[in-house]
Amino acid sequence: MKTSQNIQNYLENNGPSTVAEISRALERTKADIREQMDQLLAQNRVERLTAAPTETAGRPAARFGLIQKTPEPLVKGLIAGLMGFLKINDLDQEKEADFIELVNNALVTNFQPRGYSCASRMNQAVAYLESIGVRTTWVATRSGPKITLVQENISILFKNPGLSKKVVRQLIQKMKEKAVGP
């Protein structure tokens, strides 16, 4: 198993921990753990937590914890639940726009991009989208980043193909705006 996956498993089982604690538990060097931690931070899989004050001299060691993401089954449950309450074919344009906005706001709520690099934040957006069932890629262009849809697994939850396309298109746009701005 990869070291990064071992780190995530350790954090899931033991909660927020320092590099030294993880290093001892996984029998890896601190340098190896730091390198892996930097990658996990860039992928928005872990977060650096504020260090608790210690009774010893010196700066307290940073603690790292897993970032809780919306799991794909929860996304499916959200959409299926909303579809159960609505007669989707009876929506007028205003209600349809409100529905799309409601679904997308629920889907992007947990996404909090970190870092100063636009590329890093876009990579985080793509990883987050994939975690909720929307696989995308992105490229840098002169006018800004361009996200391309590769595959998505949430359209099957909608009974209206046109509506699902609108939801996915707006979701991708919202993620881009959240990652790099409008």
Full pLDDT tens readout for the chain, 182 residues: 688 888 888 888 888 888 889 999 989 999 998 998 888 888 778 888 766 666 667 777 788 887 765 556 666 677 777 766 666 556 677 777 888 888 888 888 878 887 778 888 888 888 888 877 788 888 888 888 888 888 877 777 776 777 788 888 898 899 888 888 76
- For residue 74, with 0-12 CB atoms within 10 Å meaning exposed, 13-18 middle and 19 or more buried, which class applies? middle
Question: Do residues 144 and 167 share a domain?
Answer: yes
**Residue-number span of the structural domain to which 61 is assigned:** 3-66
Question: Do residues 24 and 43 share a domain?
Answer: yes
Cα end-to-end span (Å), the chain: 39
Q: Are 168 and 155 in contact (CB under 8 A)?
A: yes
**Domain final position from 66, 85, 102:** 66
**Domain final position from 51, 66, 81:** 66
Question: Do residues 81 and 164 share a domain?
Answer: yes
Question: Do residues 81 and 133 share a domain?
Answer: yes
Q: Are 39 and 64 in contact (CB under 8 A)?
A: no
Distance between CA 60 and CA 173 in Å, rounded?
A: 40
Question: Do residues 14 and 48 share a domain?
Answer: yes
State how many domains the chain has.
2
Question: Do residues 134 and 175 share a domain?
Answer: yes
Question: Do residues 40 and 57 share a domain?
Answer: yes
